[in-house]
Structure 1
Amino acid sequence: MYQPKDSSLSPRFCGVRTFMRLEQITTTDNVDFVVAGVPFDTAASYRTGQRGGPQHIRNFSVLLRPYNPDQDINIFDYCSGVDYGDIDVIPGNIHRTYENIQNGLRPILEREITPVILGGDHSITLGNLRAFAEKYGPVALVLFDAHADTWDNYYGEKYMHGTPFRRAVEEGLIDVEHSIMVGMRGSLYGPNDMNETRELGFEVITMSEFRKIGLDEVMKRVHNRVGSHPAFISFDIDFVDPSFAPGTGTPEVCGATNVDAIECVRRLHGLNFKGFDLVEVLPPYDSGEVTAVMAANIAHEMITLIALKKQKEQEKVKKKDETITAAE
């Protein structure tokens, strides 16, 4: 059983920075989840520096503790996890990086381990989805983002951080009938920008609609849309308002509060999720490390969901065993 170093016995400033002070070991033995970085940022269209995102998140995450009081669960009572390190990227070569992502995730997914992937710009999600579709077939996508990232191209380039979900639809990686995007906002080039996303098959809840219908209704629609289908969760940190997460490449005003962002993740409980990614954290613009605080806690909530899922599975087995014993 792999679990974090006890920070009541060892100061947090001691040792190599890993996520939550988990052991840094590239293994698929005896683990339920892995945290893996993909520090690629040469497909960003404006600010760059997201390559530093995985380590920036890890640096703050040493403050995180194993018990989640709001979810009333100690993660490591039910889960074993490691910091898997980073998948090697090829700066400036997105296609070889995609190959590395697929090859890196393949042994993890073959063992049905849940990866929590730290980016990197949002282009990495196409590589992630290729790996998941190889294992599970087309997956339902749940996206929290200020942007739909369904442009056809940037500067004539088809593979950028604003294009991954159009490419994923074209490649048959996403089950669009069970996919949903939440949080879109900001200025556009015209009405067709959002209309084309819906024409691809996605359900879209803009941030304006989010505020009108409320978080409860939003998450109800997420669950209704995804159902029991295998799902991949992608969280762009710019879903959160820049007052709470300034360290990102393309910030947009009027985003989610930090409370709403955490609650959105918590309410994914019950979905048949197979993996997560968290992208677009940009350290040079992260005044006071507030974005790192936000991102690390989002990842912590994602891992909590894995623990809750394992808890439910164990309780189901226990109940079945008790029924069999009673019958005997």
Structure 2
Amino acid sequence: MDSSRVPRFAGPATFARLPRIEEIEGAGGAADVAVVGVPFDTGVSYRPGARFGGNAIREASRLLRPYNPAQEAAPFALAQVADAGDIAANPFDIGEAVETVEEAADGLLGRGARLMTLGGDHTIALPLLRSVVRRHGPVALLHFDAHLDTWDTYFGAAYTHGTPFRRAFEEGLLDTSAVSHVGTRGPLYGRRDLDEDERMGFGIVTAADVMRRGVDEVTDQLRQRVGGRPLYISVDIDVLDPAHAPGTGTPEAGGLTSRELLEIIRGLADCRLVSADLVEVAPAYDHAEITSVAASHTAYELTTVMARQIADSREDDSRDAETREGREGREGEVGATG
């Protein structure tokens, strides 16, 4: 939508004021990247409200512009990005909600789109991973979060926002040679939390590591760990310090700055990002949309990475086709001469 003709505060609040997926498909096209919301927060252990996160991010994204100078790319020109609306998950039954999210993700991925999912709480990462893995096999995972989210249960419940990556490990969804937490900090229940996390294969880059070692060194380490594997990125907005993201359910002091998070994501542009999620934005605790703005820019950077890779892949396919045509033409000429 042209902001010189339609003011940013007017019109439908799709992500970055992009077209709805129904408009794309109705015109005979298909989305390369689908931005989809999951307004679900029944899995939280402290402050609720992340069910309103997706729409808050969409509202904040009205200020996003079509050219990303940090990545030297116009993502919405490189790939067809569309807003796929919300997945309506049962707020009273976590098990059913998990199944609903998984089924809806299957539908979007089955139509060829990569997902940029806006939560919602971190419970939704598990069904999203299940769906992505059906198409790519076990994935590398970069998990940006203040917390490990590899605990076993809360009050006997196996599916909560603190357990998705324990379940993902148990279900064989992760390439355990390439999984890392980034930005963790704060107290734990005991040393056993770290021991069990290490047993699952996770590396840890704490928030203090980012501060001491710097963004470039940390990003290089993450790139080397991921390599050429299909990568899923999961961002809990509480990876940011409460000064940068007060609007979340379980804030922890000493986190990343929004600048550090954005720079790390930009530094992962060469990794094979197949889908991503951004969760735990709770606008009821936000001040002047600080958290929602940070989240909208984070989703924009992740979307740009995916759009660039889609465009690069198409260029590679086009070059390969031209090479094959040239080879077949030369072989035909040789055959005719012989």
TM-score range for the pair, normalised by the shorter chain length: over 0.9
Give secondary structure in 2 for the equivalent of 1:181: strand
Give secondary structure in 1 for the equivalent of 2:232: strand
Aligned mates of 1:324, 1:137 — CA distance in 2 = 29
1:206 is matched by which residue type in structure 2?
T
Q: Return the offset for 1:92.
A: 2.1
1:308 is matched by which residue type in structure 2?
R
Aligned mates of 1:59, 1:296 — CA distance in 2 = 9
Q: What residue ranges of structure 1 are gaps of 5+ in the alignment?
A: none
Partner of 1:254: 254
Give secondary structure in 2 for the equivalent of 1:177: strand
Instruction: Say yes or no: does 1:22 pair with 2:14.
Output: no
Considering only CA atoms, is the larger Rg found in Structure 1 or Structure 2?
Answer: 2
1:9 is matched by which residue type in structure 2?
R
Offset from partner CA, 1:81-128 (integer Å, 9 cap, x none): 110000111002111111111111112222331110000001110111
C-alpha contact (below 8 Å) 2:145/2:237 kept by paired residues: yes
Q: Return the offset for 1:313.
A: 2.7
Paired residues, number: 324
1:90-101 matches, within 5 Å, as 90-101=90-101
Aligned mates of 1:76, 1:105 — CA distance in 2 = 21
C-alpha contact (below 8 Å) 1:67/1:73 kept by paired residues: yes
Q: Return the offset for 1:174.
A: 1.2
Give secondary structure in 2 for the equivalent of 1:142: strand
Aligned mates of 1:135, 1:322 — CA distance in 2 = 28
1:149-298 matches, within 5 Å, as 149-298=149-298
Q: Return the offset for 1:269.
A: 0.7
C-alpha contact (below 8 Å) 2:33/2:307 kept by paired residues: no
State percent identity of aligned pairs.
44
Deviating above 4 A after TM superposition, structure 1's stretches of 4 or more consecutive aligned residues are 317-328
2:95 is matched by which residue type in structure 1?
H
The alignment's C-alpha RMSD in Å is 1.8
Residues 136, 319 of structure 1: CA spacing in aligned structure 2 closer, same or farther, 3 A cutoff? Answer: closer
Partner of 2:72: 72
Give the stretch that moved more between structures: 69-78 or 317-326. 317-326
Residues 100, 324 of structure 1: CA spacing in aligned structure 2 closer, same or farther, 3 A cutoff? Answer: closer
Residues 323, 173 of structure 1: CA spacing in aligned structure 2 closer, same or farther, 3 A cutoff? Answer: closer
Q: Return the offset for 1:324.
A: 7.6
Partner of 1:12: 8
Aligned mates of 2:276, 2:284 — CA distance in 1 = 24
Q: Return the offset for 1:323.
A: 6.5
Residues 73, 309 of structure 1: CA spacing in aligned structure 2 closer, same or farther, 3 A cutoff? Answer: same
Aligned mates of 2:156, 2:319 — CA distance in 1 = 57
Give the stretch that moved more between structures: 161-170 or 129-138. 129-138
C-alpha contact (below 8 Å) 1:101/1:131 kept by paired residues: no
Q: Return the offset for 1:140.
A: 1.2
Aligned mates of 2:275, 2:48 — CA distance in 1 = 25
Aligned mates of 1:168, 1:158 — CA distance in 2 = 12
Aligned mates of 2:269, 2:123 — CA distance in 1 = 26
Partner of 1:142: 142
Aligned mates of 1:43, 1:93 — CA distance in 2 = 10
C-alpha contact (below 8 Å) 1:52/1:283 kept by paired residues: yes
